[in-house]
Amino acid sequence: MVVKNNFFIDDFGRILILRGCNVSGGSKTPVSDIYPVPLKDPETASFVGRPFPLEEAETHFERLHAFGFNIIRLVITWEAIEHAGPGVYDEAYLAYLRKLLLIAEQYKIWVYMDPHQDVWSRWTGGDGAPAWTMEKLGIDREKIDAAGTALTEQAFHERGEPFPRMLWPTNYNRYAAATIFTLFFAGNVYAPHCRIEGESAQDYLQKRYIAAMSHCCRRLKHCKAIIGWGAMNEPSQGFIGCGDLSRLEHYSVAAGPMPSPFQAMSAASGHKTEFPVYATGIFGERITGKQTYGASLFKDGFICPWKQEGVWTDESGEPRLLKKDHFARYNNRKPVFTDDFLKPFINTFAAHIREASEKTFIFVEGLPTGTHPSWTEKDAPNVVNAFHWYDGSTLFTKSFRSWMTIDAGTRRLIAGQKNVAAYFTACLAESVQWARERMGNAPCLLGEFGLPFDMNNRKAFRTHDYRLHEQALSLYFDAVDNNLLNATIWNYTPDNTNARGDGWNGEDLSIFAEGQTRGIRGWLRPYPMATAGEPLRIQWDRKRVVFIYRFKADPSIQEATEVFIPTIWFSPKLVITANTPLTYDYFPENERLFVYNNGFSGEAEIRITGGRNS
């Protein structure tokens, strides 16, 4: 597989469209029979068996292949590779991954590796980094909750309290994750005095992260299924760019007790500090009260790195902010996180990964808000804009209305199903346009999108009626088709249950649960897998069961255009029409249609009708 213009090209010269899923949401946590997975004994954690036991792998890959998926985004974490300590790699886990990938190859499923993280680590409310990355900074993991530096599902569980819906993303704005992300990406600029074993915090953390992923890449480099590596899932800018540390900035959602950066710093050093408590809705947030935190997060001999840098002080007994704009400038201008700090990291990551696997693609992610790095010929070649997109209104409220949503950027109400559908298409088009104009026309892959299956108070679990979910997913996929996008839906978690969802922070987005598919008529649909020419338009009308595909035929390509035709929609007696002189072969047992150009040059159209009763 190679890239030409903004397309993936196979060995026959055909343009590929990659469709698949993330495998899996459960891979964020170690194997455990307990939910939520405890935060004890991080050194002995084992991820062998994530995403599924090896003895079940053929069953799962066979199922994914039957879904018409030709790619998966395989979720791994830094913790899974290096949980026992710096430089101590879990070779049993890496051996397990290798065997898993060899089975994926048998089922002709490509893989791109996803070094996943959410809000840095399990100890800061998410997943990703090993516990020792915090210990090297002198952080006492036992004080994280009392200091208000992260709100974890485990702490709520220990108190016998329900974990609030979609609370975990707010940890990006709390002290622990915000501090470590700032140190990871820009410690040399904003905390030059923060050292770990004689190195700057930035150099130490980045070197260990890249070394762990490079070691994993070397162990897996002979696995032919792998086509590329992501650099990091949904990176965060931490405090970088904050203009006033006394104010809450750069947040996607405000919920629960959320401090300003200065309030967070004060509480993390043991000062009793009142955090404003927020409630949020689709039209915004409001402050509903206050909650007091304050416990020294640091072990003896360590202090807050921002206090060390003179950002604030408590010499008089009370905390005082000294440099409210400490993170607001870089090289005498406002910092641009994606270009100033994220891009250099990705370039370094790419160089080291390619020492192990020279031809691999690098899947680049910007901020979850949709801000991407720019890319030039001076940067790493063969990159893919692997952006994410969710219908925020549905994701955060866990409810869906086809006739209404909220513009995530402007908070503007969008009414009417046609307008909603057009908005979804436009959201994805923005990232495609960015790649075309600011990333050298790099190919795009929508790495994550999906919806919560437990929406509407889990009604579908009782009624087994997923039509509303299917309507939502169909609108999302229409937007994907309208942009001719490669895409991997979030997610396929084979051990998902109605009781605990994906097994992480109350999320429940898996298209498979308790041995059954969910919402299948929303996400299982026909699409052109490989085109002997250039794709022009994909149209799928699931109500009328009509599929139309237009492409510009290339007469020099002898291999057929290959279209996935799921029999869940079409009967064996379907009707296929194609403009002359195109010919075709249809194999319902393989759910494939092969269309031959026969030397034809020009716009070709395939139309398929004859659906089953739905």
What residues act catalytically?
Answer: 234, 448
Q: For residue 172, what is the DSSP state?
A: G
Computed on alpha carbons and rounded to an integer, the radius of gyration of the chain in Å comes to 25
- Strand, coil or helix: 157: helix
Nearest to 239 by CA among 141, 285, 305, 292: 305
Q: Give the whole-angstrom CA distance, residue 569 versus residue 64.
A: 17
> Residue 29 is which amino acid?
T
Enumerate the β-bridge partners of residue 586.
Answer: 593
HEC profile of 107-131 = CCCEEEEEECCECCEHHHCCECECC
Cis previous bond, 266, omega within 30: no
| Tokens coding 569 | 């929609």
Rounded alpha-carbon distances, angstroms, from residue 61 to 55, 494, 515: 12, 11, 14
Which residues neighbour 55 within 8 Å (Cβ) at sequence distance 6 or greater? none
Q: Any idea what the Cα angle at residue 483 is, between residues 477 and 485, rounded to 5°?
A: 70
Helix, strand counts (H, E) of the chain: 16, 30
Q: b/e string for 84-100 if b means 16 or more Cβ within 10 A?
A: eebeebbeebbebbeeb
| Closest to 488 measured CA to CA, from 561, 387, 569 | 387
Residue 472's alpha-carbon distances to 389, 401, 455, 469, 580, in angstroms, are: 14, 8, 12, 5, 37
